[in-house]
Structure 1
Amino acid sequence: MSLYTAETRRLTKRRFTRFFLIGVVLVLGAIAAGMFLTNHKNTPEVVAAAQAKADREFQQAVVRAEADRKACEAQTQPGSDCSQMWTPTREEFQAQWYMPPTFDFRKNFKDMVTTLASILAVAAFVIGASFVGAEWSSGGMMNLLLWRPQRLKVLNTKLAALLVLLAGVTVALSALWTGAFALIASLRGTLDGMTSGAWQSYLLMELRGLVMVLVAGAVGFGLASIGRHTAVAMGVAIGVLVVLQAGLGTVLAMAQVKYLEMYLAPTWIAAWMTKSVELIDYNAPCVGSGDTCVQPSLTLTWQMAGAGIVILIALVLGTAMWTLRKRDIT
């Protein structure tokens, strides 16, 4: 049996891996079910009812506004102007505002893709960290290296088995996720506007989500390998994402740092998934004058986020491989 086959079997046979993935599937199923139950199809009857309600609200607002104007004229002193009081217009009472929520696939599915990628990335990080971390803490890595003394080959084979599994799971769940929400849109919303270009855009977004999942798994794997324990990777994740990011955000806000969101990880993740994120410096004076006066802005692109991903992977995995070669196996 080849080393890769053995590592793949070791990973897939782990109860933690199986149960964690089952939990992920249940969470995703709950989200899809919730979206199905909370959205409704805008049938002609629903549209007609919403239009009727909008008309009633408009008429009632007209009556109230007229009564308020007459009361103002009766109570104010001579020379007072009540003509500036609010007068309802038909545009302020549109039927679409009185319709139940509906799932517009073209507008709303991008949020669902980001949700899927985020959940799978967390799962990938935990599975990757526990896979190699458990090997170190149980002594399995030391035993394996007795009959396979090629340290880097062993580590890279484990990483390859992990990434192949994560890629397969992500692709399968992405296909099911897309199909499920296309069905939800068909039954409880609309698929209007889904041209070939729109489908291609979502496919590319899901591919970027796949990359994010693989990166998360590799980072978790690398951190656990460096620390030789699953808890090390989990501790780093908690420290960076919770303590450091929350504390850093607070400090930067108090210091009124320019484009403070640029220093926070979620901003870069959003830039990667949605192709770009525009940051606005609300502390700086606006540029221009009158209606054309706008705040300075900075756009983070997916290419910039991709460069950060490459640096992160090189740093974590490079350190993991270096420490494996230099440190004793004890």
Structure 2
Amino acid sequence: MSLYKAETRRLVKRRFTKLFTLGVLLALAAVLAGVFLSNEKVGPEQIAAAQAEARAEYQRILADLERARQDCEAVQGTPRASEFPANCAELQPPPEDQIDPQWFMPPTFDFRKNFPDMVTTLGALVAVLAFVVGASFVGAEWNSGGMMNLLLWRPQRLRVLTAKLAALLVSFAGFFVALAAAWTGAFVLVAKLHGSTASMTGGAWQSIGLMGLRALAMVLVAAALGFGLASLGRHTAMALGVMIGVIIVFQFGLGTVLNLAKVKFADAYLIPVWVIAWLNKEYKIEDYNSCDFSAFGGCQPPIFTITWQMAGGVMAAVFVAIVGAAMWTMRKRDIT
């Protein structure tokens, strides 16, 4: 059996891989069930009911304003008069067409509008799975001494580590593609039963497909980062510790300090912003600290746009740095 096949088999057969994958699949199933149960198909009956509710709401507004106008006229010349306009006739209802029946429509799953959020959910959960499994895959080998035993049988350090990484990335690529296809099909069914796919065009499908490819790239980078960090520290805890430290320091600590210091475009220093920019093609950050909203005329805050190309460049740089460092240390350091 080739080294690559042996490592693929070892990855797939590990109990930790199976249990963690099952946990993620259950979480995705819960999301799917929640979306299915919280939406419904909109037809003529629902539209008519929403229009009737809008008319009833308008009638309630008219009744409330009539009572307010009567109270206004009754308290004229008393201390309570200051609670109302000087001219009670100013209490006028809004135009009836401003009460939009859409406000009273039941939730429905519009595939084109809502499915990109589901792609983000899928990518985020599988990326966490890939990171942790990747870290455990190589970290457990170092911690148990299995790596040293393997190198006695195949004394080619870089080839061994590369085979492990290739098995991890190819396995997760296949897993994500299959899961994404099932995920898309499930939500197409949800949209047909409890929503609509009427707005889907060729361009819309292409956009969703490209978003799925970006999610796949994110999953593979996450797997490689977990693998590389665990290989550098020769322990699964190394990768998990870095992940927890990054979340605490960069998401909470650094974000709080930058906001208190009123740093321009403080959100640009937070990792989730770059992930969102990668998946959604861009993310706009507005610097509200430069605006004085007490001034008349309002303010147009400056905007910094993070594009998917910028986010991709950062991901590629981190990937090369971590994986390259893991390969270099594998070649140079003593394995005992």
1:89 matches 2:95: yes
Paired residue for 2:271? Answer: 265
Amino acid at match of 1:35: V
Counterparts in 2 of 1:86 and 1:265: CA distance versus 1, 3 Å:
farther
Instruction: Answer yes or no: is 1:168 the counterpart of 2:174.
Output: yes
Q: Which moved more, 1:241-250 or 1:174-183?
A: 241-250
Q: Which runs of 5+ in 1 are unaligned?
A: none
Residues 62 and 88, structure 1, Cα contact 8 Å, conserved in 2: no
* Kept after mapping to 1: 8 A contact 2:20/2:129: yes
1:11-58 deviation digits (Å, cap 9, x = unpaired): 111111112112211111111011000101112111111111111111
| Equivalent residues in 2 for 1:126-275, closer than 5 Å | 126-275=132-281
Cα separation, 1, equivalents of 2:247 and 2:210? 27
Equivalenced residue count is: 329
Q: 2: CA distance between counterparts of 1:56 and 1:165?
A: 57
**In the aligned structure 2, how far is the partner of 1:254 from the partner of 1:296?**
19
Q: What is the CA deviation profile of residues 55-96 of structure 1, one whole-angstrom value per residue up to 9, with x for unaligned ones?
A: 111112112112211221221249922233352332332221
The one-letter code matched in structure 1 to 2:240 is M
Matched, 1:42 2:42: yes
Q: Which residue of 2 aligns with 1:70?
A: 70
Deviations along 1:182-227, one digit per CA (max 9) or x if unpaired, are 1101110111210000000000000000000000000000000000
Q: Equivalents in 1 of 2:262, 2:256: separation in Å? A: 10
Output the CA distance in 2 between the equivalents of 1:244 and 1:268: 12
**Partner of 2:14 in structure 1?**
14
Q: Deviations over 1:206-249 (max 9, x none)?
A: 00000000000000000000000001100000000123321000
Q: Distance in 1 between matches of 2:88 and 2:243?
A: 61
Identity %: 58
1:290 deviates by: 7.1
Distance 2:66 2:248 in 1: 54
TM-score by length of 1: 0.96
**Candidates 106, 110, 115, aligned match of 1:109:** 115
Alpha-carbon deviations, 1:169-193, whole Å to 9, x = none?
1001100111111110111011121
For residues 86 and 28 of structure 1, the distance between their equivalents in structure 2, rounded to whole angstroms, comes to 50
| Distance in 2, Cα, partners of 1:116 & 1:269 | 13
Equivalent residue letter for 1:220: G
The worse-fitting range, judged by mean Cα deviation, of 27-36 and 59-68 is 59-68
| 2:319 match | 313
Secondary structure of the residue aligned to 1:83 is helix
User: Does the alignment pair 1:61 with 2:83?
Assistant: no
Q: How far did 1:125 drift?
A: 0.2
**Which shifted more, 218-227 or 93-102?**
93-102
How far has the Cα of 1:291 moved from its partner? Answer: 5.7
Q: After the TM superposition, which segments of 4 or more aligned residues of structure 1 sit over 6 Å from their partners?
A: none
**Are the aligned partners of 2:127 and 2:219 in contact in 1 as well (CA < 8 Å)?**
yes
Do the aligned residues in 2 keep the contact of 1:65 with 1:88 (CA within 8 Å)? no
Q: CA contact under 8 A between 1:286 and 1:294: conserved in structure 2? A: no
* Pairwise CA RMSD: 1.7
Compute the displacement of 1:285 (Å).
Answer: 3.1
Please state how far the C-alpha of 1:286 moved relative to its aligned partner. Answer: 6.9
TM-score by length of 2: 0.94
SS in 1 for 2:89: coil
State the alpha-carbon separation in 2 of the partners of residues 31 and 19 from structure 1.
Answer: 19
Residue type at the aligned position of 2:195: G
Change (3 A) 1:286 1:201: farther
- Secondary structure of 1:298's counterpart equals strand
CA distance in 2, matches of 1:80, 1:268: 53
**What is the CA–CA distance in structure 2 between the aligned matches of 1:253 and 1:285, rounded to whole Å?**
15
Give the equivalent residue in structure 2 for 1:30. 30
- From the superposition, tell whether residues 33 and 324 of structure 1 become closer, same or farther in structure 2 (CA, over 3 Å): same
Output the amino acid matched with 2:74.
A
Residue 282 of structure 2 contacts residue 308 of structure 2 at CA under 8 Å; is this kept in 1?
yes
